[in-house]
Chains A and B, each alone.
Chain A
């Protein structure tokens, strides 16, 4: 947890990451609010707010009396959303920094290709 963004948003994002990576499989049960609160050492009300963001987005759903589960198709939904924001989140800052340093787009493309080969 850092202070740069609301804690509940960070909780939501961490859960999203776990769903994208498959650590939380679709139709699998998600940890309870209290478990999230204890794990992140945050107030349960904050954890609830984070989880509710995902419930509202249809990523998680509640089964009465049992707990919360990952919705079917949640992984693809999240990946799609992340792809949509990939450009603004990663590409644009990359270009801005490159421009500051005088790296043109041809050089940049070359650098990306090189890194991709190395990894």
Chain B
């Protein structure tokens, strides 16, 4: 019988080490790609039904512009929040799994970040295509709006930018929450939201006491959708960096 001493593996290249973590997030695409589109599809089907009910109850003259209000609808907003949940789930579950496979925290985080950017690209593409169809068919033939609401910008390039940046924000904000969860479990996440809440209340109070609401309002108007979206990149970067720093010192523990 031949005996071969198990040789030490040739060090894999950093890129390979990172991309295999990225692939890990898509190994079973149900959570990251399957379920979100199915839910979105169900919401879309529901909206179409409602629109059709309204549309068919109206006389042809009344139909014009009847669904204009849906421009302000937020039914596709769910997908952004859901991406935050996806990020939290993905990290909290694959982190201990990947470390058992000998992955470093650094490679794990970078690979996950790459997976999140890929998700943002995929979902932005999806929403853009659906938004374009929506515009081209005059709101699915009924003037309804779901995929290209007014907040996403007016032109296609604007919508692409805003959608992409928003996806990034929610995914990386989610990864920061996940890192807090991995390190300090429920107590940590509770503290995290208390701190975030306190910061928000503080900002609101500051604005109110300094009587600056008008200034804030005009600044937002001046910035426009694009400007606000661009500024969210700062928050995204902070979240991403915080997630990295927190996870670098995290220890996978059994559910506690």
- Chain A interface (Cβ < 8 Å from any Cβ of B): 32, 34-35
Contacts and interface: CB of A to CB of B under 8 A. Distances in A.
Interface of B: 1, 3
Nearest to B3: A34
Contacts of A32: 1
A35 B1 CA distance: 9
4 contacts: A32-B1, A34-B1, A34-B3, A35-B1
Contacts of A35: 1
A42 to B, nearest CB: 16
B204 to A, nearest CB: 69
A43 B3 CA distance: 15
A32 B3 CA distance: 12
A5 B3 CA distance: 29
Contacts of B1: 32, 34-35
B6 to A, nearest CB: 14
User: What are the 3 tightest A-B residue pairs by CB atom distance, in nearest-first order?
Assistant: A34-B1, A32-B1, A34-B3
Nearest to A34: B1
A34 B3 CA distance: 10
A35 B3 CA distance: 13
Nearest to A33: B1
A34 B206 CA distance: 76
Contacts of A34: 1, 3
Contacts of B3: 34
A82 B184 CA distance: 68
A27 B1 CA distance: 20
B229 to A, nearest CB: 64
A32 B1 CA distance: 8
B2 to A, nearest CB: 10
Nearest to A67: B1
A34 B1 CA distance: 8
A73 to B, nearest CB: 28
A11 B3 CA distance: 22
Nearest to A32: B1
A56 B1 CA distance: 23
A47 to B, nearest CB: 13
B125 to A, nearest CB: 56
